[in-house]
Homo-oligomer: A and B are copies of this chain.
Amino acid sequence: MMKKYTIKDIAQLAGVSKGTIDRVIHNRGNVAKDVENKVKRLLEDINYQPNLIARNLKNNRIYQIGALLPDPKKDAYWEVCTDGINQALSEFSAFDIRLHTMLFDPTDTESFIKSHQQLMTSAPDIILMVPLFYKEAKSVLKNYEEAGIQVCTFNNQIEVSKANFIGQDLYQSGRVAAKLLHTIADKGDMAIIHIDEKYKNAVHMQEKERGFKSYFDDLSGFQDHILKCKIRYTETEDKLRAFLINNSNLKGVFVTNSKAFHVARLLETENKNHIKLVGYDLLAENVNYLKVGVIDFLIHQNPRQQAYLGLKFLIEHLVFEKQIPNKFLLPIDIINSENVTPFLRD
């Protein structure tokens, strides 16, 4: 534990005034070369760390943060994001942070664009967003980039953009699901089910599928045993029932989003309890089926933590000038009926 040097200390050591030290630190110029060098060396030597807290005492700026998020009323998955955002705000309540949130319908690309446009009118310093739709998000992100507005994205990554990203390795989470089904299911067919393809150009489902397949590709004996089924939410019930009944050798099902409860409901009514089921996310409906044993495992994507971290990174960037990590991957949580409870508060 070393002594903490202040600007005053350094000024004394260098035999100049605090003002000069400040000019050197912030490269404001108007300092004689020899003095500048001397001070710079001194700063290096003692490894000067400014007191970030004191720095912000003076700086009573108002920080404007824009948020472009899916509407929880349209899809319950997003509900917990609000908690994460509120937590971050309360942690930094000492600073004057104004959050402007615009919600969009996660099944509607136009709503995304419209919300984006409206958000821009509040002229935010920096933006937090869920870039749900690949094509639209790409162009929106390009807008921000050109405007020089830093953006932090979460949930799914738009690879081509330079925006920072917080979320999970979706490819790897597909592999986790595969490993789980491989461990628990009897030998037979495995199905990947994509529900609600209204989320059109959504890459995340494809990434999970790629991971899932790659796991079984690494094994022998699973060629031609990986089935696939895409379903629109308008037709879920009937098409799904047909799929489950017609594939008599089906032993495991992987649902690539939070809609596993649709499959669970059918497995229960059709008495197919030999079929193992793995899905995503701790929605109340999923958790119920997990507890009664119809869903075997859920993968937790921790949207609350994603939103929390995203906002926290942005705030720390604004007030402390901290670097935002370009890519921050959360661990992939495996949930069963016995460990689910403490995750519900996350």
Q: Which residues does chain B contribute within 8 Å of A335, judged by CB atoms?
A: 334
A215 to chain B, nearest CB (A): 7
What is the CB-to-nearest-CB distance from A92 to chain B, in angstroms, rounded to a whole number?
10
Q: Could you say which of B93, B180, B184, B336 contacts A176, with CB atoms under 8 Å apart?
A: B336
Given known A53-B57, A184-B183, contact A332–B337 (CB-CB < 8 A)? no
Contact of A338 among B53, B176, B337, B346 (CB under 8 A): B176
- Contact residue among B52, B93, B342 (Cβ-Cβ distance under 8 Å from A331): B342
Which secondary structure characterizes the binding site on chain A?
Answer: mixed
Q: Is A179 a contact partner of B51 (Cβ separation < 8 A)? A: no
> In the assembled complex, which residues on chain B have CB atoms less than 8 Å from the CB atom of A56?
53
Within 8 A of B (CB), among A54-108: 54, 56-57, 93-94, 96-99
Number of residues on chain A facing chain B (CB within 8 A): 42
Query: Which chain A residues in 319-346 approach chain B with CB under 8 Å?
Result: 329-339, 341-343, 346
Number of copies: 2
Q: Is A17 an interface residue (CB 8 A)?
A: no
Q: Is the CB of B99 within 8 A of A1?
A: yes
Q: Are B52 and A338 in contact (CB under 8 A)?
A: no
What CA separation (Å) do A228 and B319 show in the bound complex? 56
A247 at the interface (CB under 8 A from B): no
CB <8 Å contact, B332 and A94: no
Is there an interface contact between B53 and A176, defined as CB atoms closer than 8 Å?
A: no
How many angstroms from the CA of A332 to the CA of B184 in the assembled complex? 20
CB-CB under 8 A from A169, the residues of chain B are 342
Please name the 4 residue pairs, one residue from A and one from B, whose CB atoms are nearest each other, closest first. Answer: A334-B334, A332-B339, A331-B342, A176-B338
Interface residues of A (CB under 8 A from B): 1, 4, 49, 51-54, 56-57, 93-94, 96-99, 169, 172-173, 175-176, 178-180, 183-184, 215, 296, 329-339, 341-343, 346
